[in-house]
Amino acid sequence: MLKAVGVGIPEHLHRVSVHSCTGGELRVRHDMEGWLPLCGHGLEAPDNYSAAIAWQLAEAA
């Protein structure tokens, strides 16, 4: 998710939460001022791995 906004992972990981929903949708929450809403969707991955695609909405909802 953090690569979707182009920021460093170590500095921002604690400010983002990702929760799985039905159908592969991911609910992404963050407390970063000035960031647009994030969306995500889980992808198939080998056992013991996770994969997802993430994107920012063009404008705040």
pLDDT tens-digit readout, 4-17: 566 666 777 778 88
Predicted confidence (pLDDT) at residue 61 exceeds the cutoff of 60:
no
pTM across the whole model = 0.63
Task: Return contacts of 50-56, CB within 8 angstroms, 24+ apart.
Answer: 52/1, 52/18, 52/26, 54/1, 54/3, 54/4, 54/26, 54/28, 55/4, 56/4, 56/5
Q: Which pLDDT tens digit goes with each residue over 16-34? A: 888 888 888 888 888 888 8
Would you state the pLDDT for residue 32?
81
Predicted confidence (pLDDT) at residue 37 exceeds the cutoff of 80:
yes
